[in-house]
Amino acid sequence: MSMTPTNLPIIPKIRKNAILTLLTKGSRIDERSFDEHRIINAEVNVIPNANGSALVRLGHTKILTGVKAEIGTPFPDTPDEGNLIVNAEFLPHASPVFEPGPPDERAVELARIIDRSLRDVRAIDLNKLVIIPSKKVWNIFIDIYVIDYDGNMIDASSIAALIALMNTRIPLVSIDQSTNEIIIQKDSYQPVPLSKKVVTATLAKITDENTGSRYYLTDPSLEEEIISDTLITIAYSEDGLLTGIQKSGISSIPREDIPKILELTRKLAMKYFDRVKEISSTLLSG
Amino acid sequence: MGVHKPNIKLITEDGVRIDGRRPDQLRPVKMEVGLLKNADGSAYVEYGNTKILAAVYGPRDPGAKHMVLPNRAVLRCRYHMAPFSTHERKSPAPSRREIELSKVIREALEPAVLVENFPRTVIDIFIEVLNADGGTRTAGVTAASLALADAGIPMRDLVAGVAVGKVQGVLILDENEQEDMYGEADMPVAMMPSYREITLLQLNGVLTEEEFNRALEMAMEGIMKIYSIQKEALKKKYAEIEEA
């Protein structure tokens, strides 16, 4: 059963008022402008036993994403496609309000948002993951670990998943014609067939109860997230298509705000793509 | 969704859908309020072959004291599919999909309920999908908001929902299961219609920005129709009581 959260982190009223007062003056408590995201850094292939991995920092939010490729069997209705499986875990390390145990509804939601953003636009060309049609395919597991939570884990996870996938190596295989056995070649690899790059872009809607003013903040910090009433996430492909949407939170969004939300999220997504490109090029040259 | 099965024509060149509807046409909608004896509020909703039973209990004492809030009621929501509601039997254990949908449906109802009127209580909302033929979450929201109203819980507005899909490049209102499964996009929307406030918005699939804007307009038009049927269903119940 889904329940109104009763254990959310709390923030002092004086701090909340300070944030709101600054918003009325057009600035944020960490001195960012409304449409500015926090600093993004990434390390790749930090997990030697994974086929690909990325540790991404978005401000103080830290996400570790590991990609594993395993040989499996295709689903009967998609005999010529590999499989994509996304899971998310909120480590108890990441926040005083995260408890150990199976993924709760927020972790399930996060994983499903990332999954949907990639799946229908066919960001990963699953047809290229077939080893023996109807029999053997590659299963690509994306496991998202939230290890430090300071707001906006959706975008941080999406960026971490993208960077990890861009740096994933799947072993090359051959098939023994006489025995039909799959032989995994040593030390020769192929990249994940990434046909489109996708990122999510998240805004927090903050309502000043005294004035009724509404603010949409790009890449909310944890404090901003706590005093916000709703998050809106839109996933974009690099060529500008909308590949997923999720409204998350206990409030609503006025219809008239949609054009502004589209403009802000699109701008944010394109900034994320630019930063991912920068990170990739430094990785190549380094 | 995303299953690519060739040779299924979901819409003709003249814009006629597999069940004969026009692109912007809802399925036959049926609503009944207050059909359960024990629940504080209940509703039954059909969008074509999608059949939903919703029940509300509360505001009531939650039993466990750590599950309340001092300044408002806590909402608890379960979206669940009956094992016989799908073509192949669905395990009754909650799936990841049901866990997520329970959350987004709760969050679609939270803005409408005047939760601040009932501190230290819990309001339980149970949504059971009896037969699934696409649009179960939006029909679920529609049914749940009727059940809340039937329970006499004060609300800012009813919440009405409908999905917009895309098949063969054409935007369509209120997709059925086949259109959802073989289509290119599914965008469920729920609103408080009188306030023009969106309380549920998801997109699974791919749309251009222009398509998204048109899809949202289509959803709003469908929602207004569903909203008036909701109000009729509530009035009808109280008219019957007057007669009796």
CATH of the domain at A57: 3.30.230.70
B106 in contact with A, Cβ within 8 Å = yes
The span from the CA of A54 to the CA of A44, in Å, is 4
Distance (Å) from the C-alpha of residue B35 to the closest C-alpha of chain A? Answer: 23
CB-based contact A220:A152 (threshold 8 Å): yes
Contacts of B195 in chain A (CB under 8 A): 252, 254
pLDDT of residue B4: 54
**pLDDT mean over B214-219:** 98
Q: Which residues of A touch B68 (CB under 8 A)?
A: 6
Q: Which two tokens stand for residue A130?
A: 């077939």
Distance between CA atoms of residues A159 and A161, nearest Å: 5
pTM value is 0.96
- Give the SS3 label for residue A90: strand
CB contact under 8 A, B202 and A243: no
- A111 to chain B: which residues are within 8 Å by CB? 96
Q: Are residues B175 and B135 in contact, defined by beta-carbon separation less than 8 angstroms?
A: yes
What lies within 8 Å, CB to CB, of B206 at 6+ separation is A120, A121, A237, A241, A242, A243, B184, B185
Classify residue A181: in a domain, yes or no: yes
B147's torsion region: left (phi>0), alpha (psi -120 to 50) or beta?
alpha
Most A-contacting residue of B141, B184, B206, B217 (CB-CB within 10 A), to test interface: B206
CA distance B164 to B184: 11
pLDDT tens track for B117-171: 999 999 999 999 999 999 999 999 999 999 999 999 999 999 999 999 999 999 9
Angle at CA A50, nearest 5°, toward A180 and A280?
A: 115
- How close is the nearest chain A Cα to the Cα of B106, in Å? 7
Q: Identify the residue whose tokens are 């890449």.
A: A219
Amino acid at B149: A
Chain B residue with minimum CA distance to A120? B205
- CA dist B135 and B200 (Å) reads 13
Of B76, B99, B204, the CB nearest to A116: B204
With respect to residue A261, please indicate whether it lies within any of the assigned structural domains.
yes
Could you tell me which chain B residue has the CA closest to the CA of A121? B206
How high is the pLDDT of residue B124?
98
Give yes or no for a contact between A96 and A150, defined as CB atoms under 8 angstroms apart: no
**pLDDT digit string, tens, across residues B49-79:** 999 999 999 999 988 777 899 999 999 999 9
Look at residues A123, A115, A9 and name the one whose alpha carbon lies nearest to residue A65: A115
Residue B6 has pLDDT above 60, yes or no: no
B128 touching A (Cβ < 8 Å): no
Lowest mean per-residue pLDDT among A128-137, B6-15, B201-210, B227-236: B6-15
**Nearest in space to A193 (alpha carbons), one of A277, A278, A122, A134:** A122
Report how many Cβ contacts below 8 Å link chain A to chain B.
131
Q: How far is A233 from chain B (nearest CA, A)?
A: 9
**B217 at A interface, C-beta within 8 A:** no
Q: In which residue are the tokens 């500008």 written?
A: A240
Query: CB contact, 8 Å: B99 with chain A?
Result: yes
Residue A231 phi, psi (nearest 5): -110, 145
- Asked if B209 reaches chain A (Cβ–Cβ under 8 Å), the answer is yes
State residue B66's pLDDT score. 76
Distance from CA of residue B143 to its chain's centroid?
Answer: 6
Residues 133-192 of B with CB under 8 A from A: 184-185, 187, 191-192
ipTM score here?
Answer: 0.95
Q: How many domains does chain A have?
A: 1
pLDDT tens track, chain A, 286 positions: 999 998 888 899 999 999 999 999 999 999 999 999 999 999 999 999 999 999 999 999 999 999 999 999 999 999 999 999 999 999 999 999 999 999 999 999 999 999 999 999 999 999 999 999 999 999 999 999 999 999 999 999 999 999 999 999 999 999 888 888 899 988 899 999 999 999 999 999 999 988 999 999 999 999 999 999 999 999 999 999 999 999 999 999 999 999 999 999 999 999 999 999 999 998 876 5
Binning pLDDT at 50, 70 and 90, where does residue B219 land?
very high
Q: What are the chain A neighbours of B100 within 8 Å (beta carbons)?
A: 105, 108-109, 112
Distance from CA of A235 to the nearest CA of B (A): 9
pLDDT higher than threshold 70 for residue B3: no
Stated as kind and residue range, the H or E segment containing B101 is helix B96-109
- Report chain B residues whose CB lies below 8 A from the CB of A112: 96-97, 100
Q: What is the DSSP letter of B26?
A: P
How far does the CA of residue A27 sit from the closest CA of chain B (Å)? Answer: 26
Please say if the pLDDT value at position B231 is more than 70.
yes
| B5: its two tokens | 């099965």
Residue B123, both tokens: 């309001």
Report whether pLDDT(B45) > 70.
yes
Report the residue of B125, B204, B213 to disrupt the A interface, i.e. the one with the largest count of A CBs within 10 Å. Answer: B204
Please indicate if any CB of chain A lies within 8 Å of the CB of B74: yes
pLDDT score, position A285? 66
A12's tokens = 């002092």
Per DSSP bridges, beta strands B197-207 and B185-192 are antiparallel
Are the Cβ atoms of B107 and A120 closer than 8 angstroms? Answer: no
Cis peptide before B59 (omega within 30 of 0): yes
Q: Are A19 and B92 in contact (CB under 8 A)?
A: no
State the Cα–Cα distance between residues B205 and A27, nearest whole angstrom. 35
- pLDDT tier for residue B244 given thresholds of 50, 70 and 90: low
Measured between CA atoms, how close is A96 to chain B, in angstroms?
Answer: 17
Q: Please report whether residue A248 resides in a domain.
A: yes
C-alpha B30/C-alpha B20 separation (Å) is 19
Residue B81: pLDDT band with limits 50, 70, 90: very high
Any bridge partners for residue B124, and if so which? Answer: B57, B76
- pLDDT at site B27: 98
Structural domain including A278 reads: 6-285
What is the DSSP code string of A101-160? SS--HHHHHHHHHHHHHHHTTTSB-GGGGEEETTTEEEEEEEEEEEEE-SS-HHHHHHHH
- The answer to whether residues B56 and B150 touch, using CB atoms and an 8 Å cutoff, is yes
Q: Which of A167, A169, A86, A182 is nearest to A130 (CA)?
A: A182
- Taking the CA atoms of residue A72, residue A77, residue A83 and residue A86 in that order, the dihedral angle to the nearest 10 degrees is -120
Measure CB to CB from residue B76 to each of A2, A250, A258 and give the nearest one: A2
Percent of chain B exceeding pLDDT 90 equals 90
Residues 6+ apart with CB under 8 A from A30: A38, A59, A221
Chain A residues lying within 8 Å of B199, measured CB to CB: 247, 252
pLDDT of residue A280: 93
Say yes or no for a CB contact (<8 Å) between B201 and A232: yes
Report if residue A1 sits inside a domain: no
Among partner residues A1, A109, A245, which is closest to B77 by beta-carbon distance? A1
Strand A136-148 relative to strand A83-90, pairing? parallel
Closest CB to B100: pick one of A3, A112, A242: A112
B104–A247 C-beta distance less than 8 A: yes
